[in-house]
Amino acid sequence: MDLYFSYTSTYSQKVLLGFYEKSVPFNPQRLDLGDRQAHARYREFYPFGKVPLLVRDDGRMIPESSIILEYIDHRFPRGPQLIPADHEQALHVRLLDRMCDQFLNDPVVTLILESWKLPGQQNVDVIDNATEKVGLMYRYLGDHLEGREFLAGDHFTLADCAAIPPLYYARAFADFASIDNLQRYWERVSQRPALLKLQNEAKPYVQALMGAQT
C-alpha cells in the first residue's frame, strides 16, 4: 500500500498515528505541499489534491483520514482496535472522531494559518470564532475524560488518533493545563511510542515550515 501524506498535515499525522499504533506496513509517499510543482503533479494523480490518501495494492484509492483508519483497522486486526466491534461503542468512537475533526482540528489549523499573517492582516472574527471552538472542545473533552483513560474508554481508538495531533498544536494558542482530566490525558498519550516515533519523524518538516512562516 502507498500512503501519500505530509508530515505538516494534521490529518496525515492522524493517519500515521493509527498506522504506527497498529504496526501496519506501508510505502511512504511524502509530499511537500509547499512545492507548487510537486502539488500540481499530485493533482494530476489525485485531482482533489488532498492528503492523506491511501492507494491499495489493487490500485483503489481511499481518501479521508477516518476512512483510511477504518480500512486498516478492518484489514489488519493486530494492535489496538481503533473502532470497537460493538455497534454502540463504535458509534461513540465515530462521534468523538467527528467532534475532534470539526471542532478541534479545523479551528486549530485556522489559528495556525492566521498566526502566520502580519498582525494587520489577521481576521479577528475568524480568530475569535476558532478560539471559541477550541475552548469549547477543551471543556467537552475534559468532562468526557472523567473516569476514562482514553477518549472512548479504556482503550486507544480512532478518537484518540483524531484528538492528539490538534492538541499538540493547540497548546501554543490556548493552554489546557488547568483542565485536569485533559492535561493528565495528554501526559499519558504523549509517552506512547507511536506518537514519539511520529514526532521524531515530523519534527524537521514542522520546524522548517514554522521557520519559513516567521
Exposed, middle or buried: residue 57 (CB in 10 Å: 0-12, 13-18, 19+)? exposed
Task: Say which CATH number the domain at 170 has.
Answer: 1.20.1050.10
User: Which grid cell sits at 54?
Assistant: 491511501
| CA pair distance 39, 187, nearest whole angstrom | 36
Asked if residue 10 is part of any domain, the answer here is yes
Domains contained in the chain, number = 2
Q: What is the mean pLDDT of the segment spanning 98-123?
A: 93
> Which pLDDT does position 210 carry in this prediction?
66
Helix (H), strand (E) at residue 53: strand 53-55
Q: CA 211, 166, 113: angle at the middle one, nearest 5?
A: 45
Boundary residue ending a domain (81, 107, 130)? 81
3-state secondary structure of 37: helix
Inter-residue contact 3 to 54 (CB < 8 Å): yes
Q: C-alpha dihedral over 184, 189, 193, 195, to 10 degrees?
A: -130
Boundary residue ending a domain (28, 57, 81)? 81
Same domain for 141 and 76: no
Same domain for 97 and 182: yes
CA distances from 55 to 21, 45, 50, 68, 70 (A): 20, 11, 13, 10, 14
Percent share of the chain, pLDDT over 90: 86
> Which pLDDT does position 214 carry in this prediction?
45
Asked if residue 213 is part of any domain, the answer here is no
Tell me which residue range forms the domain holding 52.
Answer: 2-81
Asked if residue 202 is part of any domain, the answer here is no
Same domain for 100 and 71: no
Asked if residue 59 is part of any domain, the answer here is yes
Task: Say which CATH number the domain at 47 has.
Answer: 3.40.30.10
Least confident of 51-55, 100-104, 193-197, 209-213: 209-213
Same domain for 77 and 132: no
pLDDT at 59 over 70: yes
Least Cα distance to 153 among 92, 201, 206 occurs for 92
pLDDT in tens, 114-156: 988 888 899 999 999 999 999 999 999 999 999 999 999 999 9
